[in-house]
């Protein structure tokens, strides 16, 4: 039994023409599948000139927009230009609030109540270093202190690290805070005062109690006196 049939009515007759050649049975079976596998072909039409011009116009507009509104091309400047206006000045921070924030790094040694750690770290409450000469106190904090010290009648041998990496405002604030906390009452310190002591102690190493006392006994350098204004020199008369 065969499932392949030949449609030629006279299979014994020898074909005389190419058109009379019977189709290949394999081709006949797969003809439908081969027809479905044909892929469509798109026509090769040129891109419209109007589309090219539109793309070019969009590119030009994008370049103009970035160049006009790109700010300074810095990390925070890639935004549209801000409108002109008065500069915004941040309100001055309360030195007691700032000082309390900075004092957070001192809590481990001097404790939150300012009483320190017995036999290890001296107290700040009622301390003669805190309530005494403020120039001496600023110099101590800026350059650090080591060796045997006596605070409130008790001896301590610990080290106070230098705070010269802090800015003048932070040091002035924390000194103002410790001079007016835990029952302490003393006048505040300004950042200008701290800046002057910083300049005065520049290049000095860590203090010892004797060297710090010697520094405090030395009067600070006098502020330079501004020269009186001189009269304007009259202009030479033209001949």
Instruction: Evaluate whether 127 touches 188 at the Cβ level (below 8 Å).
Output: no
Map residue 210 onto helix, strand or coil: helix
Instruction: Evaluate whether 99 touches 92 at the Cβ level (below 8 Å).
Output: no
* Residue 133 is assigned to a structural domain of this protein: yes
**CATH number for position 198:** 1.10.760.10
* Residue 232 is assigned to a structural domain of this protein: no
* Residue 177 is assigned to a structural domain of this protein: yes
What value does the mean pLDDT of the chain take? 81
- pLDDT tens per residue, range 54-105: 999 999 998 888 877 766 666 555 555 555 556 666 677 899 999 999 999 9
Q: What is the helix (H) or strand (E) element at residue 157, kind and residue range?
A: strand 154-157
- pLDDT tens per residue, range 88-97: 666 778 999 9
pTM for the predicted model, two decimal places? 0.58
* Residue 113 is assigned to a structural domain of this protein: yes
* Residue 187 is assigned to a structural domain of this protein: yes
Strands 148-151 and 154-157: antiparallel
What residue numbers bound the domain in which 145 lies?
Answer: 95-217
Map residue 37 onto helix, strand or coil: coil
**Distance from chain centroid for Cα 69:** 24
* Residue 203 is assigned to a structural domain of this protein: yes
**Residue whose C-alpha is closest to residue 212's, from 141, 114, 164:** 141
């Amino acid at each position: 039994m065969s499932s392949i049939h030949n449609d030629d009515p006279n299979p014994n007759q020898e074909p005389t023409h190419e058109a009379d050649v019977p189709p290949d049975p394999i081709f006949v079976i797969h003809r439908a599948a081969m027809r479905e596998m044909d892929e469509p072909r798109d026509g090769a039409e040129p891109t419209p000139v109007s589309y090219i011009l539109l793309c070019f116009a969009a590119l030009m507009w994008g370049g103009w927009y970035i160049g006009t509104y790109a700010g300074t091309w810095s990390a925070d400047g890639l935004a549209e230009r801000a409108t002109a206006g008065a500069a915004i000045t941040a309100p001055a921070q309360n030195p007691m609030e700032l000082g309390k924030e900075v004092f957070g790094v001192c809590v481990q040694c001097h404790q939150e109540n300012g009483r320190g750690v017995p036999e290890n770290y001296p107290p700040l409450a009622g301390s003669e270093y805190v309530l005494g000469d403020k120039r001496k106190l600023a110099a101590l904090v800026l350059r650090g202190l080591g060796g045997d010290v006596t605070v409130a009648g008790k001896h301590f041998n610990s080290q106070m690290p230098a705070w010269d990496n802090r800015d003048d405002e932070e040091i002035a604030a924390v000194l103002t805070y410790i001079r007016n906390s835990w029952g302490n009452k003393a006048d505040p310190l300004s950042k200008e005062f701290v800046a002057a002591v910083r300049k005065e102690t520049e290049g000095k190493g860590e203090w010892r109690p004797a060297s710090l006392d010697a520094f405090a006994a030395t009067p600070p350098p006098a502020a330079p006196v501004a020269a009186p204004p001189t009269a304007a020199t009259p202009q030479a008369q033209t001949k």
